[in-house]
Amino acid sequence: MMRGTPRTFVGSVVLDLAGPVDPATAAQVRAELERHPRIRACELDAASGTLVVTARAAADRNDVVAVLERLGCPVRG
């Protein structure tokens, strides 16, 4: 689909970040995403760059990706 096509999801999505994440950025990612009203939890394995985001209500994956890109953690694939 086109970049920016709405991609609503429920449940969990696993995102692979392009490269490892330093502890300070990891903390920022957690804090920002968990502040999102539609996100219930996020687990970040900083070493492997794997992020599991679980939605509380239907959320848009693009919003999650936008937060990550703003924090300097682009998503792979």
Binding residues for other proteins, rule: CB under 8 A, are 1-16, 50, 52, 54, 57-58, 60-62, 76-77
Closer residue to other proteins (CB): 16 or 34: 16
Specify whether the CB–CB gap between 31 and 41 falls below 8 A. no
* First CA to last CA distance, the chain: 13
What Cα–Cα distance (Å) separates residue 52 from each residue in 1, 2, 28, 35? Answer: 22, 24, 15, 15
Question: Least Å distance between CB 16 and other proteins?
Answer: 6
Question: Least Å distance between CB 43 and other proteins?
Answer: 9
Closer residue to other proteins (CB): 15 or 29: 15
